[in-house]
A = this chain, B = another copy of it.
Amino acid sequence: MTTQHTAYAIGHAPSHTKHHEWRTAANSAPRLLPHLQKALASNPNLKLLDIGCGPGTISASLAQHLLPSGNVLATDIADDVLERAKEHAISQGLSVPDNISFQKASVYELPFSDNEFDIVHAHQVLCHLDDPVAATKEMLRVCKPGGLISLREADMRMWCFWPELPSLLKFHALMVEVMLANGGQDKGGRKLVSWVMGAGVKREAIEAGFGTWCYSATEDRKAWGESMIERLRTGQMRQKGIELGLTTEEGVEEMVEGWKRWIEREDAMLGIVNGEVIVRKA
């Protein structure tokens, strides 16, 4: 098994980070929050490592939960997005580095000692990797015994659209194919327990479930649909899809039109499923 990086397939184009900025601890780490409150009650100086933080909105949101004396260390493999994440944290009134700090790091070789963090968090990270089990082992290494690992990963096969416009079904298929072509994972959600057990954790130390995102209300359809359109127009998915012969310029434009029609449909729904686990390190 290789432990090389998968390049982050989607890229950090503004279109992509735009949707990411909608993310908070409440909508993207709901299973962690009650555990976080409980851990804080016994240790107000919690150290949380947020791996693959991207634009850092979940990291900043977690840092708010740890105020006043806890601390988030947010990492990403990409320099540029870390700078943006830092600016976002400051814009949220957080103090750098007291409440939150930022560091470039590979999840496969975290530049931290064993047993260093109380909580290790990763959201939509393993699904971009070719060796999620190796990454999970590394997260376990830097977590304190008795500490928690919190993982949430999309199950990319588990999307449901209404209406089922053929162009949107093609969009979904393209997205999955590009993810796989980049060495990522299409069924991360359902495999989470398997990955964590593969990293040496016993089943009874794992709490597992699924969570959903739903886009249906007018403002949500607009925000999500427009982010997909921008991704199609400027993102890596278009370029890679055409390069691999999975679609064409015309095909991409058809998908753009599909999203526009979907945004206009008041009865539309889009459901996306994430697997979620909370792991207690032995």
Contacts and interface: CB of A to CB of B under 8 A. Distances in A.
A127 to B, nearest CB: 14
What is the total number of copies of this protein in its complex? 2
A158 to B, nearest CB: 5
Given A209-B216, A210-B214, A271 B193 contact: no
A162 B193 contact: yes
Given A158-B158, A160-B158, A189 B273 contact: no
Interface residues of A, number: 32
Interface in A239-282: 266-269, 271, 273, 275
Contact of A267 (B161, B203, B218, B271): B203
A73 to B, nearest CB: 30
Contact of A271 (B161, B162, B189): B189
A190 interface: yes
A218 to B, nearest CB: 7
Given A193-B268, A210-B271, 10 more contacts: A155-B160, A158-B158, A160-B190, A162-B191, A191-B269, A192-B269, A193-B269, A203-B218, A210-B214, A212-B212
